[in-house]
Amino acid sequence: MHNKIFENYQPNDRSTLIPLLQEVQTIYGYLPENALRDISNFVKVPLSRVYGVATFYNQFRLMPLGENIIRVCRGTACHVKNSANILFALEAELGVMAGHTTRDKKFTLEVVNCIGACSIAPGYFG
């Protein structure tokens, strides 16, 4: 399904790595392993380096997202309001750690750093 994207790029050009990763992620919503291998072969960059780039940038995902994405802010203001407890409660309820998706693919739990809503940071002290 993703092989058509290579028609728009020159092979062996490592400068196209990030645009290719972005296009693949647009197609699948994440970066499947077989697509990373194909990109590695196309741009002639070792697979380990492709993974290095894909894991360095927050925009890229190596796992598919769930139907619903829950983001818990762990920025300073939310940390002070004890957002860790919200995160722990969600992890316990969903049965997954932050950065993962539930088995039924209904929820993905993520941690973010400040979403610009510091003044309304919720507190959870239970």
- Judged by the rule CB under 6 A, the positions of this chain that interact with ligand FES are 73, 75-78, 114-118, 121
Closer to ligand FES by Cβ: residue 11 or 122: 122
Count Cα atoms within 13 angstroms, Cβ side, for 22. 7
Q: List CB contacts of 111: < 8 A, sequence separation 6 or more.
A: 71, 72, 73, 74, 87, 98, 99
Give least dist CB 121 to ligand FES, A.
Answer: 5
* Shortest Cβ 53–ligand FES spacing (Å): 28
With CB atoms as reference, the residue minimizing the distance to ligand FES is: 75
Q: Least CB distance from residue 91 to ligand FES, whole Å?
A: 18
User: Nearest 5 degrees, angle CA 124-CA 67-CA 85?
Assistant: 15
